[in-house]
Structure 1
Amino acid sequence: MPLTEKIAPNIPYLRRFARALCGNQSSGDAYVAATLEAIIADPSSFPSDQDPRVALFKTFLKIWQSLEVNQREDGPGASPAAMAERRLEQLPPRPRQAFLLTAVESFSPDQVQTILDVSPEELDELLDTAGREIARQVATEILIIEDEPIIAMDLEALVEGLGHSVLGIARTHKEAVGEVQKKRPGLILADIQLADGSSGLDAVNEILGGLEVPVIFITAYPERLLTGDRPEPTFLITKPFQPDMVKAMISQALFFDTRAHNRGAAA
Structure 2
Amino acid sequence: MSLVAKLAPHLPYVRRYARALTGDQVSGDNYVRASLEALAVGDLELSESATPRVALYQAFHAIWETTGAQLEEGGADTANPAQRLLRIPPRSRQAFLLTALEGFTASETAAILDTDVTEVDALIAQAQADIDAELATDVLIIEDEAVISADIEALVLELGHKVVAVSTTRTEAVEAVAQKRPGLVLADIQLADGSSGIDAVKDILSIHDVPVIFITAFPERLLTGERPEPTFLITKPFQPDNVKAAIGQALFFHPARHALPA
Match of 1:88 in 2: 85
Distance, in Å, in 2 between the alignment partners of 1:175 and 1:222 is: 23
Match of 2:252 in 1: 255
Match of 2:112 in 1: 115
Distance, in Å, in 2 between the alignment partners of 1:152 and 1:109 is: 30
Match of 2:27 in 1: 27
| TM-score of the aligned structures, taking structure 2 as reference length | 0.76
Distance, in Å, in 2 between the alignment partners of 1:151 and 1:58 is: 42
Aligned-partner SS, 2:255: coil
Distance, in Å, in 2 between the alignment partners of 1:150 and 1:50 is: 45
Distance, in Å, in 2 between the alignment partners of 1:74 and 1:65 is: 17
Match of 1:70 in 2: 71
Amino acid at match of 1:6: K
Cα separation, partners in 2 of 1:45 and 1:221, compared to 1, 3 Å: farther
Q: 2:194 aligns with which of 197, 207, 211?
A: 197
Q: 1:235 aligns with which of 231, 237, 253?
A: 231
Match of 1:50 in 2: 50
Match of 1:213 in 2: 210
Contact map agreement 1:127 1:244 (CA 8 A) in 2: no
1:150 offset after TM fit, Å? 5.5
1:173 aligns with 2:174: no
Q: 2:94 aligns with which of 91, 97, 102?
A: 97
Cα separation, partners in 2 of 1:257 and 1:37, compared to 1, 3 Å: same
Q: Deviations over 1:142-190 (max 9, x none)?
A: 1122345565445334333332222233343344334334432111011
Q: Deviations over 1:95-139 (max 9, x none)?
A: 2113322333233455434434342x5444433332332333331
Q: Deviations over 1:197-247 (max 9, x none)?
A: 3211111122234333221223343443367997x6842324155655544
Aligned-partner SS, 1:70: helix
Aligned-partner SS, 1:48: coil
Q: Find runs of 4+ consecutive structure 1 residues off by over 6 angstroms.
A: 72-76, 227-230
1:60 offset after TM fit, Å? 1.8
1:62 offset after TM fit, Å? 3.2
Contact map agreement 1:145 1:170 (CA 8 A) in 2: yes
1:10 offset after TM fit, Å? 0.7
Match of 2:13 in 1: 13
Amino acid at match of 1:70: L
Aligned-partner SS, 2:181: coil
Distance, in Å, in 1 between the alignment partners of 2:110 and 2:240 is: 15
RMSD: 3.7
Match of 1:263 in 2: none
Match of 1:265 in 2: none
Aligned-partner SS, 1:49: coil
Contact map agreement 1:143 1:169 (CA 8 A) in 2: yes
| TM-score of the aligned structures, taking structure 1 as reference length | 0.75
